[in-house]
């Protein structure tokens, strides 16, 4: 996976059928998904629970693109090896998840994955200024993490600031939360290249009727191409 700043849509399987992840992933990739975004929640760092490394490992063989794993857990370090073993390509930890994000990001790289760092809406861009040389991705949350389908919180100024801070570094800017054809273009224009979308991609479709997934993905892409 070479680095580029082309627009990438990363459907979040949080909005997929939990009883059918393998088929959902294959369907959404066939419909044009660039990456697959996997939300891991622990009921402690965020007020919701999803799944852990065994599930991630089980779905790995259904992912033909990039498996982008977003950890909403604290602590992170005890689970890094398990997510490496599960086959995560990118492993993103929250800067708020503990006092030693620098060590965590080094450990993720050391385990053979690409490290990402995520920021909650209440966290300033400056919180990641000292780790930009350690990461492949900065994830800007545009909702308070924990649930899909929430209302987008405008983080345009933070994204612009991060884009300037990142400069020429090969670091993706990912936006997570409330992305749809209305909210995505301003994030793209501000410098984001990866847009996570759960509800906006999976709505109206299913494994047996996956054409809406493609229409939904294209609607986000077209909105960004038109307005940027």
Q: Which residue's CB is nearer to ligand DX5, number 107 or number 200?
A: 200
Catalytic residue among 89, 136, 176, 193: 176
Please give the residues from 1 up to 20 whose contact with ligand DX5 meets the rule CB under 6 A: 12, 14-15
Does 150 bind ligand DX5 (CB under 6 A)? Our answer is yes
Residue 8 and residue 220 in contact, taking contact as beta carbons nearer than 8 Å: no
Judge whether 4 counts as a catalytic residue: no
Burial class (CB in 10 A: 0-12, 13-18, 19+), 168: exposed
Q: Least distance in Å: CB of 177 to Zn ion?
A: 7
Minimum CB separation of residue 152 from ligand DX5 in Å reads 8
Cα separation, 181 vs 200, in Å, equals 8
Rg from Cα positions in the chain: 16
Q: Which residues pair with 69 in a beta bridge?
A: 38, 91
* Residue tagged active-site, from 39, 42, 136, 193: 39
Residues in contact with Zn ion by CB under 5 A are 39, 70, 176
Q: Examine residue 149 and tell whether it contacts ligand DX5 (CB under 6 A).
A: yes
154 annotated active-site: no
CB 170 within 8 A of CB 64: no
Among all residues, which ones are annotated catalytic? 39, 176
């Amino acid at each position: 996976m070479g680095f580029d700043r082309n627009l990438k849509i990363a459907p979040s399987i949080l909005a997929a059928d939990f009883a059918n992840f393998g088929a959902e992933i294959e369907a959404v990739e066939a419909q044009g998904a660039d990456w697959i975004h996997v939300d891991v929640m622990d009921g402690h760092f965020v007020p919701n629970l999803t799944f852990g490394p065994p599930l991630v490992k089980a779905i790995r063989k259904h992912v033909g693109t990039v498996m982008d794993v977003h950890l909403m857990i604290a602590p992170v370090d005890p689970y890094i090896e398990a997510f490496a073993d599960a086959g995560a390509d990118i492993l993103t930890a929250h800067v708020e998840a503990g006092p030693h994000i620098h060590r965590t990001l080094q450990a993720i790289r050391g385990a053979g994955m690409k490290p990402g760092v995520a920021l909650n809406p209440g966290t300033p861009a400056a919180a990641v200024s000292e780790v930009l040389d350690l990461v492949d991705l900065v994830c800007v949350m545009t909702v308070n993490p924990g649930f899909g389908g929430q209302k987008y919180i405008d983080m345009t100024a933070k994204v612009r600031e991060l884009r300037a801070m990142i400069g020429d570094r090969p670091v993706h800017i990912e936006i997570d939360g409330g992305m749809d054809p209305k909210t995505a273009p301003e994030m793209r224009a501000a410098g984001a290249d990866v847009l996570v979308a759960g509800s906006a991609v999976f709505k109206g479709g299913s494994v047996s009727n996956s054409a809406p997934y493609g229409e939904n993905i294209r609607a986000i892409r077209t909105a960004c191409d038109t307005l940027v």
